[in-house]
Amino acid sequence: MTDGVFSYSAVLMGSPILLKLFDDNPTLARQVFQLIKQQENLFTVNRAESEVMSINQAAGRNPVVVSEPVFALISVAHAVSLLPDSAFNFTIGPVVKRWKIGFQGRAVPPANEIAALLKLTDPHQVVLNSADCSVFLLQSGMEIDLGAIAKGYIADRVQAFLHQQGVQQALINLGGNVQTLGSPPHEPQGWGIGLKKPFGRDDELLGVLQVQGKSVVTSGIYERYFERDGRCWHHIFDPQNGYPLDNELLSVTVISDRSIDGDIYTTLLYGMGVEQGLAYLADQPDIDAVFVTRDRQIICSSPRHFQFQQRDFAWQLRY
């Protein structure tokens, strides 16, 4: 405990998980970690068994009935994948599995293999039936991957659970997905969420975002990547070509009420890049974003839901 904060940690979903409370309540922390574990068991594609794996294993053969929450999240992921020019594609699974970024055996696959796998990533080839909550991947070899949305959804589930338990001030960090309740006691400015310096040490920050009761989600190319042939091959793929998205960005951070939106928008905005992303956000009053670029700029959308305190002045801040 420091400053009245009680921190609890775990490793779940291959990620460090941190819960901050203002009461010493290990029982509640255990319940939160159990909830996350239970959600991981539904959505994971890193083990042989989960509801999502049962859909993937039946690809090209038959529809699979899933639970209502799994069907609901898949329906959202499907709709976002079908948006015009969407960089988000929840059927990217075969590409993710082949590159293995963040896992043993990662390597740059031969171009002809990537081209062949891309044919298995068409979200139009997913049939959702709301009458029985069934999901059918029409082609054998297709695979759903909810890696770009599930952590956001789960962070919101944790927030709702804590709220239900009467907690008014808390923070959950699922490794890149932060969701908060209220503000810390005696800190009217809200929670300070560090914006990491890309490829820096954990304690090296570009700045701190101040938020109250908001979610802060960061997607970057510097957490899961490997270097080969002088290039950084990271885990956010361009669904058009099956290669890591290659543009001016190092990271995108989204500030929103719901963490599921933050998770979705980080991926969408990654695909848009800075200029198109800023123009898009002008019409989204509930979503703010911070873009960090290869040429050392920190670019904030008009900050409606956060304040930014710069720490590293070697980077240029602009709004």
| Minimum separation from the CB atom of position 13 to Mg ion (A) | 10
Nearest Cα to 290, choosing from 217, 228, 240, 221? 217
Contact partner, 239, from Mg ion, ligand FAD, none, Cβ < 5-8 Å per class: ligand FAD
Interface with ligand FAD in residues 289-308 (CB under 6 A): none
Contact pick of 8, 71, 88, 225 for ligand FAD (by CB under 6 A): 88
Instruction: Report yes or no: 245 and 87 within 8 Å, Cβ to Cβ.
Output: yes
Determine the interface stretch with ligand FAD among 10-18, 61-69, 104-112, 283-291 (rule: CB under 6 A).
10-18
Interface residues with Mg ion (CB under 5 A) are 148, 151, 263, 266-267
CA neighbours closer than 13 Å in the CB half-sphere of residue 290: 31
Interface with ligand FAD in residues 26-55 (CB under 6 A): 40, 43-44, 46
Contacts of 123 (CB under 8 A, 6+ apart): 78, 81, 82, 89, 90, 91
Contact partner, 90, from Mg ion, ligand FAD, none, Cβ < 5-8 Å per class: ligand FAD
User: d(Cα 260, Cα 251) in Å, to the nearest integer?
Assistant: 17
Residue 145 or 288: the one with the smaller Cβ distance to ligand FAD is 145
Within 10 angstroms of residue 209's Cβ, the number of other Cβ atoms is 25
Nearest Cα to 204, choosing from 49, 315, 289, 47? 315
Residue 120 or 154: the one with the smaller Cβ distance to Mg ion is 154
Determine the interface stretch with ligand FAD among 18-26, 120-128, 262-270, 285-293 (rule: CB under 6 A).
262-270
Contact pick of 63, 69, 102, 109 for ligand FAD (by CB under 6 A): 102
Number of residues that bind ligand FAD (CB under 6 A): 32
Tokens 């029409």 correspond to: 138
Q: Tell whether the torsion through CA atoms of 239, 240, 242 and 243 is positive or negative.
A: negative
Residue 252 or 278: the one with the smaller Cβ distance to ligand FAD is 252
- Sheet with 126-129, edge to edge strand ranges: 64-65, 134-137, 126-129
Within 10 angstroms of residue 175's Cβ, the number of other Cβ atoms is 16
Contact pick of 20, 151, 196, 197 for ligand FAD (by CB under 6 A): 151
Instruction: Report yes or no: 274 and 300 within 8 Å, Cβ to Cβ.
Output: no
Task: Tell the burial category of 74 from Cβ atoms under 10 Å away from its Cβ (0-12, 13-18, 19+).
Answer: buried
| Minimum separation from the CB atom of position 317 to ligand FAD (A) | 23
| Minimum separation from the CB atom of position 116 to ligand FAD (A) | 18
Residue 173 or 266: the one with the smaller Cβ distance to Mg ion is 266
**Can you give the binding site for ligand FAD, defined by CB under 6 A?**
13-15, 40, 43-44, 46, 87-90, 92, 96, 102, 145-148, 150-151, 176-177, 219, 223-224, 235-237, 239, 263, 266-267
